[in-house]
């Protein structure tokens, strides 16, 4: 099992401190204070220092503890804090992997990016670039197709696009697909295919059609709804989703990334689900699994998601 964190060379992001069930982060020029249930330890800085540094603070509202409303609340801004702003990501390893992201203050404490995912963006870019190069060297003019399911505001889609993939970006929420499309334009990219649909329904249909992808990315929530009211519950549907995904993953040369945020899900569990759903025998694929963490300025590691990555 491996542990990965964000490169210190990403100048537009920094975890300043964490603890007492909160985190203090800098996104570009602005410092954001948000609840963080996994920050079980004490803060390293004082309350006075946090208050002095923060440009905005999220306060959990009356929905706390209710299914689907756990993170609802209100932002309290200082005068200089805008409702929207932009940051950029530039890879420490490749000049080709760079994109821009519009951030904003949502009513569910999110700002439009999950920064701990940067190592996954690097993985997506590397694997996609390798497959694109393999096609080119073999004289294969067919596109390298990457499918991003539960794709949110699209950082992973942009990473695949920067590597030259034919990207399909799927999310069930129209507003976040519009947000992702704006991020594509801000990044100087184009021709991503946008799909607003239930992810499991889409995967089943692609399997029936016999469509194949050289890269598949999944970042499913614990709970969710499709655009037509379809219910998604991770515990009940994840393995079925992975079985459908298995049938549309090109077994010649491809990659798959499963990322999980849900509390109680371990990296070993993610690894076992992927191996069983894809029927991976010994030596048939390279599989890594581990955790993504953010490390604050005081060296405290904040674990935020687990992943399993397959390279065939």
- The CATH homologous superfamily of the domain defined by 2-86: Golgi alpha-mannosidase II (2.60.40.1180)
Strands (E), the chain: 2-5, 13-19, 22-27, 30-35, 56-60, 73-77, 84-90, 98-104, 145-149, 166-171, 193-196, 215-218, 223-225, 231-233, 255-260, 286-295, 301-311
Domain ranges of the chain: 2-86, 115-311
| Residue 32, beta-bridge partner list | 25, 56
Cβ neighbors of 264 (< 8 A, separation 6 or more) are: none
Question: For the chain, where are the alpha helices, taking DSSP H only?
Answer: 47-53, 118-137, 155-162, 174-186, 199-209, 234-248, 267-278
- Please tell me whether residue 259 adopts helix, strand or coil conformation: strand
Distance CA 60, CA 112 (A): 18
Architecture of domain 115-311: 3-Layer(aba) Sandwich (3.40)
- Token digits of residue 179: 């947000």
Is the Cβ–Cβ distance between 302 and 18 less than 8 Å? yes
- Asked if residue 213 lies in contact with residue 254, where contact means CB atoms within 8 angstroms, the answer is yes
- 93-113 pLDDT, tens digit per residue, is 999 999 999 999 999 899 999
Q: Give the rounded distance of the alpha carbon of 39 from its chain centre.
A: 20
> 256: helix, coil or strand?
strand
pLDDT tens digits, the chain, 312 residues: what are they? Answer: 999 999 999 999 999 999 999 999 999 999 999 999 999 999 999 999 999 999 999 999 755 444 444 568 999 999 889 999 999 999 999 999 999 999 999 998 999 999 999 999 999 999 999 999 999 999 999 999 999 999 999 999 999 999 999 999 999 999 999 999 999 999 999 999 999 999 999 999 999 999 999 999 999 999 988 998 888 999 999 999 999 999 999 999 999 999 999 778 999 999 999 999 999 976 678 999 999 999 999 999 999 999 999 999
Confidence (pTM):
0.95
């Amino acid at each position: 099992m491996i542990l990965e964190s964000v490169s210190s060379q990403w100048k537009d992001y920094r975890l300043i401190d964490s603890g007492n069930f909160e985190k203090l982060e800098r996104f570009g020029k602005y410092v954001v204070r948000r609840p963080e249930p996994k920050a079980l330890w004490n803060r390293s800085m004082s309350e006075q220092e946090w208050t002095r540094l923060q440009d905005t603070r999220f306060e959990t509202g009356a929905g706390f503890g209710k299914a689907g409303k756990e993170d609802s609340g209100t932002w309290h801004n200082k005068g200089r804090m805008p409702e929207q702003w932009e940051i950029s990501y530039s890879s420490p390893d490749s000049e080709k992997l760079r994109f821009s992201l519009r951030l904003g203050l949502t009513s569910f404490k999110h700002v439009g990016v999950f920064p701990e995912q940067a190592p996954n963006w690097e993985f997506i870019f590397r694997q996609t670039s390798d497959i694109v190069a393999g096609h080119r060297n073999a004289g294969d003019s067919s596109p390298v197709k990457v499918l991003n399911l539960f794709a949110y505001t699209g950082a992973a889609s942009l990473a695949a696009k920067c590597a030259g993939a034919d990207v399909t970006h799927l999310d069930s929420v129209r507003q976040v697909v519009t947000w992702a499309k704006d991020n594509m334009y801000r990044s100087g990219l184009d021709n991503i295919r946008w799909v607003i649909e239930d992810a499991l329904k889409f995967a089943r249909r692609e399997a029936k059609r016999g469509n194949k992808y050289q890269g598949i990315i999944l970042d499913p929530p614990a709970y969710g709804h499709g655009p037509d009211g379809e219910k998604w519950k991770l515990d009940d549907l994840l393995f079925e989703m992975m079985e459908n995904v298995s049938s549309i993953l090109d077994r010649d040369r491809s990659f798959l990334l499963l990322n999980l945020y849900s509390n109680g899900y371990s990296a070993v569990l993610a690894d076992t689900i992927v191996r069983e759903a894809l029927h991976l025998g010994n030596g048939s694929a390279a599989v890594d699994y581990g955790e993504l963490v953010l490390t604050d300025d005081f060296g405290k590691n904040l674990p935020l998601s687990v992943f399993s990555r397959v390279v065939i």
